[in-house]
Amino acid sequence: MTSELRKVLVRLAKVLNKENITWALGASSLLNYHGLVDTVNDLDLLVIPSDIERFEEILLRFGEKEFSPPSDVYGTEYFGEFVIDGVNVDVMSRMKITNHDVTYVYPFDETSIVEKWMIDNEAIPMTSLEEWYILYNMIPNREKKVKIIEAYFKDHPVKYPHLLKRTENLPLWLIEKLEALL
């Protein structure tokens, strides 16, 4: 993760944590945290629906919101793209992915926050590899990231099996992959 991304992340974390917003970091930043990828291009933040208005107000203090065209794949209840000090920050709440003939809703909540990454004495709430394994399987063209996480799970046991078990509306082939991890 670049120093620019870290600076923006820590600045946001200070305010979000102080305001008791339920949020967490995911996607490539999560993979980077686990040492699985070197490159992180943006910050992907998740927030619970009841905190989204305050979350957006806070982000607008730091940067600008970009226009996001509608998507056939993502039916996310809230999706915002922000630019803060030249860093792209994507914010999602009630992420929905329609692919493989199903619509999967990521049940992000307090249970999804499994660790805290300390950067410059600020706690960054982290989502799990288990949940991102599901998401990357559902998101089109993320096979490389699926394979990276699968390789990780070959050498490391699943830490949060309950997060794999609380899923709904997944294709059968993905349910079988999740059962194989358990």
Per-residue pLDDT tens digits for 136-166? 999 999 999 999 999 999 999 999 999 999 8
Backbone angles phi and psi of 104, in degrees to 5 = -100, 130
For the cut 90, the answer to whether the pLDDT of residue 117 exceeds it is yes
Cβ atoms within 10 A of the Cβ of 101, count?
6
Secondary structure (3-state) at 139: coil
Q: What confidence score (pLDDT) does residue 38 get?
A: 94
CA 64/CA 45 separation, integer angstroms: 16
Question: How confident is the prediction for the chain on average, in pLDDT?
Answer: 93
What pLDDT score was predicted for residue 10?
97
Q: Which of 106, 87, 84 is nearest to 96 (CA)?
A: 106
User: Given the structure tokens 């991304």, which residue do they identify?
Assistant: 5
Domains of the chain: 3-181 (3.30.460.40)
Looking at the chain, how many residues does it have? 182
The model's pLDDT over 45-68, given as tens digits with 9 standing for 90+, comes to 999 999 999 999 999 999 999 877
Token duo for residue 178: 């999740």
State which H helix or E strand residue 159 sits in.
none
pLDDT-derived band at 100, boundaries 50, 70, 90 = confident
- Work out the end-to-end distance of the chain between its first and last CA atoms, rounded to an integer number of angstroms: 31
pTM: 0.93
Are 10 and 1 contacting, i.e. CB atoms less than 8 angstroms apart? Answer: no
